Amino acid sequence: MPSFQFDDRALKKIAEQGMQNLMSDLNRDLNGLSDRCKGRPLEEIKQEIQRVWSRNMGGGCVGESDLTRFADALQQGGTVEVRAGSNPVA
């Protein structure tokens, strides 16, 4: 019978790379909203953010406080940064 050895370090490295790619894609897509969201009503921007978040994260939604910070930043033409394992930055 073949044996199998599990490499925890390799798995952790792959998971970390996957998370970095996911955060990179999410940040790119959220910041891609900046030009078209500038000056728009916050509620419209929040809907756009939720749509992008759900598409990138496979469902789920952004917490209200982060959602509001993101929408405020994008409404002013700014950018946002979502980081794995930490508080998002607007």
Would you mind telling me the total number of residues written for the chain in this entry?
90
pLDDT for the residue numbered 60 = 87
Percentages (nearest 5) of helix, strand, coil residues in the chain: 60, 0, 35
In a domain, residue 70? The reply is yes
- Determine if the pTM surpasses 0.85: no
Instruction: Give yes or no for residue 36 having a pLDDT over 70.
Output: yes
Task: Give the pLDDT confidence of 51-67 residue by residue, as tens digits.
Answer: 999 999 999 889 999 99
Q: Domain limits at 56?
A: 8-75
Instruction: Give yes or no for residue 70 having a pLDDT over 90.
Output: yes
CA distance 24 to 84: 10
In a domain, residue 88? The reply is no
In a domain, residue 17? The reply is yes
In a domain, residue 2? The reply is no
Instruction: Give, for 46, the enclosing helix (H) or strand (E).
Output: helix 42-57
Per-residue pLDDT band for 89 (boundaries 50, 70, 90) equals low
Per the structure, the count of domains in the chain is 1
In a domain, residue 81? The reply is no
CA distance 72 to 90: 8
CA distance 73 to 55: 20
